[in-house]
Amino acid sequence: MYEEYWGLKEKPFENTPDPRFLYYSPKHEEALTRLLYAIREKKGAAVLTGGFGSGKTVLSRALWDELQDHDRYRLIYITNPQIPTIEFIREIVRQLGEPKEGLPEKKSDLLDLLGKILERDANIGRDIVIIIDEAQLIESRETFEELRLLLNFQLNERFLLTLILLGQPELRERIANLPQLKQRLSVRYHLSNLNEKETGEYINQRLKIAGQKKELFGSETISLIHQASQGLPREINNICDLSLLTGMGKGIAKIDKKIIREVIKDLEG
């Protein structure tokens, strides 16, 4: 809607997990490095936590893009971890290529089938990676226990799968109360919010990717955006997106502090 007015090719501040727009702050680089390490070195399990809108999902898509070009990996992505435990296992098996119709009804038979698939892939040098998004939504202790037991699928020298848990900070509390699972998580990282400098770099990078030809946000606006957003990328996007829309409506050439204050007030409203 406002792209032509500001000379942009596309909207720069959409809250969608497009890895093209991933800003690699030192925190994001460290998170991605640790997740890749857990996968490539067959560490078994890793957990990444961060506040709502901190960039976990887009980071997982970048991880996905990093791995899916390699025939070595088969990637499973679970976006609804609240499903019953047996359905959880059935979904994993289905994403590994087994037809949904005809899958075993009993959990023990499903696990036996999963074990055979994992061994078959291991024999041809293929690694299974299971990514579970919004893992803090798992309420059943039984499901967490089942995830831990998945890590029992292993050969003498390696795990047959890598489990990646992504979730909000309360996931850490849930895991802390499950010591047997916690002990299996060899890699853990918490994605903290962006600082003011990183907030400015984040905004400028997204504008550049969207085709920015001139400065659209004055340097004095960054501090206000950072304070209001607390450094959360999702909130930064909301403020910047509405600022561009408001600025267009007022016919201005550059976003200033007055526009930012007006937008913040509207969003808090």
For the chain, the domains span: 3-17+194-268, 26-191
pLDDT digits (tens, 9 = 90+) for 106-135: 889 999 999 999 999 999 989 999 999 999
The whole-number pLDDT of residue 136 equals 93
Q: What pLDDT score was predicted for residue 69?
A: 64
Q: What is the pTM of this model?
A: 0.84
Tell the CATH topology of 3-17+194-268. Answer: Helicase, Ruva Protein; domain 3 (1.10.8)
Contact of 25 with 194, CB cutoff 8 Å: yes
Residues in the chain predicted with pLDDT less than 70, given as ranges, are 69, 100, 156, 269
CB under 8 A, 24+ apart: contacts of 169-174: 169/49, 169/50, 169/51, 169/136, 170/136, 171/47, 171/49, 171/135, 171/136, 172/47, 172/49, 174/136, 174/138, 174/144
Neighbours of 259 (CB within 10 A): 22
What rounded mean pLDDT belongs to the chain? 90
pLDDT at 131: 94
The pLDDT tens digits for 149-180 are 889 898 767 899 999 999 999 999 999 888 88
Closest by Cα among 231, 228, 223, 208 to 242: 228
Pick the CATH number of 26-191 from 3.90.1150.10, 3.40.50.720, 3.40.50.300, 3.40.1050.10: 3.40.50.300
* Identical topology for domains 3-17+194-268 and 26-191: no
